[in-house]
Amino acid sequence: MENQDLPEGPEPVYDRVASGYQTFHSTEEFVCEWGGALPELDIAYETWGELSTGRDNAILLHTGLSASSHARSQPQNENPGWWEDFIGPGAPLDTDRFFVICSNLLGGCYGSTGPSSTNPASGEPYASDFPIITVGDMVAAQLLLLDHLGIETLHGSVGASLGGMQSLLLAAETPERVRRVVSISAAIRSYPQSIALRFVQRQAVMADPDWRDGRYYGASFPHRGQKLAREIGTITYRSAPEWLERFARERRDEMPRLDEDFQVERYLVHQGEKFCLQYDANSYLYISKAMDLFDLTVATQELGPAVDRIRCPTLVIGVTSDVLFPVWQQSELVERLRKTSCPVSYVELDARYGHDTFLIERERVGEPLKTHLEAELEQ
C-alpha cells in the first residue's frame, strides 16, 4: 500500500541494493561455528574516505539485521544510504580523518553470500540448505575482508543493534586488531523476550504456504508471512510515546473495519509491504536466528567469557524508549566491562524513537560517537 495520508514521521532509509558495491571473493572453504561449510564466500562492501599510508585509520561499520553495505551515497550509488548523515566530511564518522568500511552481512541478500546465493555444488540457491550461522561467523567473514584489504588494526569497530553485537565480538575475538569500540542499542547477549519476538516473526514466515521449506526461489514469494513478520518487528523498533503523538487514535474511516482501521495499523501494513519488496525471507530467518544465539558471557574451555577479553576504550549508547534492547541491558554491558577494567563510557538518551533512534537522531547519537572516535586524535 502507499503511505498516503499517514501522519508523517522520520523513517530509516532502507533500499534494495543490487549494484554499486565492491565484492571480496574467497575461494577458501568457510567452516561455520555450528557445523556446515560454504565452499566459497562473497562479501559485498563499500568504502568512504582514504586509507592512510600507515593503514591505521580504518573504521569498520557493522550493520543491523536488514541493512546493506550502502551506508552512505557514493559515485557508484548516489542514492542516500541508511546512515547517510553519520558519514562524510566533518560527520561523526569523519571521512576527512577516517577510512570507513561497511559490508553486507554473511547470510544477507545484498551481495554477500546468503541463502539466495547459488550453491556451487548444485547450481541452485542454497535456500534452507544454507548452514546455521552465528554473529561469530559474520565477524570471521569480516576479518577475511580486512585481511584482503591489508588492514591489520582498526581505529574503530562501530555498530548498532546486531551491528553492536558484531562490534563487541570483533573486539573480544581479536583485541589486538581493534583500538576503539562503539556499541549502540545492543547487548551482552540475547534475552528470552527478544528471542521470543524473533521466534514469532520466523514462525510467521515459515507458516506461509509459499515458503516451501525455503525453496521458493523462482516461484511465489512468502509475501504474507514476511509482511506479518516485519509488522511484528516494527512494533519493537519504535516507541509507544512516539506513536501516541504521531497517530493517537486516528482512524481511517468512520465505520470500523477488520483490516487496517486505525492509522497505526495502516503504518504497520505499509512497513510490512515495503519490506517484502526489499529483503529475502530466508536471510531474515537465518540472521535473526544468529541474533538469538549471541552470548558474550559463555566461557570456553581454553578462554574465559568473550566479553572479558575486550580491553580497548568502549562507548555504549542506550535509549530509554528502546523495548527491543532495553537500557538495563546496556547497563549490564557497561558494568561487566568495568569489572575487567575496560575503559568504558556510557550515554543514555531519553529519545522517543525507540530502537530506531540510532538511525534518526543524528546529533544526539552522532556527538558522543564523534567524540569517542576522535578523542585520541586530539591528544
Positions marked catalytic: 161, 322, 355
**Are the C-beta atoms of residues 286 and 112 closer than 8 Å to each other?**
no
Residue 39 has φ and ψ, to the nearest 5°, of -65, -25
126 Ramachandran zone, left/alpha/beta (phi>0; psi -120 to 50)? alpha
Q: What interhelical angle do 263-276 and 223-237 show, nearest 10?
A: 120
The distance of Cα 51 from the centroid of its chain, to the nearest Å, equals 24
Amino acid (one-letter) located at 107? G
Nearest CA-CA partner of 93 in 289, 362, 326: 362
Number of alpha carbons in the 13 Å side-chain half-sphere of residue 148: 19
Residue listed under C-alpha cell 518487528: 233
**Are the C-beta atoms of residues 36 and 301 closer than 8 Å to each other?**
no
Coil/strand/helix, residue 44: strand
Q: Which residues pair with 276 in a beta bridge?
A: none
